[in-house]
Structure 1
Amino acid sequence: MKEHYQGLGHVAVYTRDMGQSIAFYETIGGSVLRRGSVSTPAGEKLLALVDLGGVTLELIQSPTPVSMEEGNLPHFAIYVDDVDATAADLRAAGVDTFLTPEKRVVPGLFGGLENWFFTGPSGEQIELLKML
């Protein structure tokens, strides 16, 4: 499976206020790479990719309040060469914790992407990510 992995895609960070978070990360030397949104049943989820010293943060403002008692890092993403092949290899290795029956293809977000989430043994979410 490791032949599919291409590096850390991003670290997701929940934010209560997108504008305030962007201003903070720009103040400490970050720069916004892209902005977007995803429609959800609860409303628009705001997203921004911010480069901070070579690490990409995905800022996420949920349309509804998100509990931050345990922190605000909802997932991490790993770039892969092929989302389907990586998922097949993971399933062959016994991983059966994918959160959806198939990958998502989002052509309009951040220039287009494919992703598929699964969970680790402690409930941590891991995103397989291929930018289009």
Structure 2
Amino acid sequence: MQEHFQGLGHVAIYTRDIEESIAFYEKLGGAVKGRGGVTTPAGEKKLALVFFGGITLELIQSPTDMPMGEGNVPHFALLVDDLDAATAAVRAAGVDTFLTPEKKVLPDLFGGLQNWFFAGPSGEQIELLQML
């Protein structure tokens, strides 16, 4: 299973105002790597990838109010070389807590990606992320 994991893909952070958060991280030396959005039943979820301090932050502005403070980091992403093989390896290790029945393929988001979320033992969300 280890052969598929390439490192930390990103850390996701909920934000009240994505523009304000981007400006904050840029002021500290961060750089926007990409912007996008995902349509949800409640409206568009705004997204931005910001490279900061040697890692990538995924800023998320939800179309609905999200709780802020402790716990506003909704998931972390593991960058993988082959999503299908990594998923099979996770399942072979006895993990079957995937949050959806199928992976998501988002060819227009951040240059193209596919991902699949599963839950850890305390409910933490872990994203397997393959950039296309």
After superposition, where does 1:32-47 map in structure 2 within 5 Å?
Answer: 32-47=32-47
Q: Separation in 1 of the partners of 2:26 and 2:11?
A: 17
**5+ residue gaps, structure 1:** none
Look up the equivalent residue of 2:113 and give its one-letter code.
Answer: L
After superposition, where does 1:91-102 map in structure 2 within 5 Å?
Answer: 91-102=91-102
| Structure 1 partner of 2:61 | 61
Provide TM-score, normalisation by structure 1: 0.97
Q: Separation in 2 of the partners of 1:46 and 1:61?
A: 5
Give 1:68 deviation, angstroms: 2.3
- Any runs of at least 4 consecutive aligned residues in structure 1 with deviations exceeding 6 A, and if so which? none
| Structure 2 partner of 1:30 | 30
CA RMSD of aligned residues (A): 0.9
**5+ residue gaps, structure 2:** none
Q: Paired residues, what number?
A: 132
Matched residue of 1:48: which SS? strand
| Structure 2 partner of 1:80 | 80
Give 1:69 deviation, angstroms: 4.8
Provide TM-score, normalisation by structure 2: 0.97
Give 1:96 deviation, angstroms: 0.9
Q: Percent identity?
A: 73
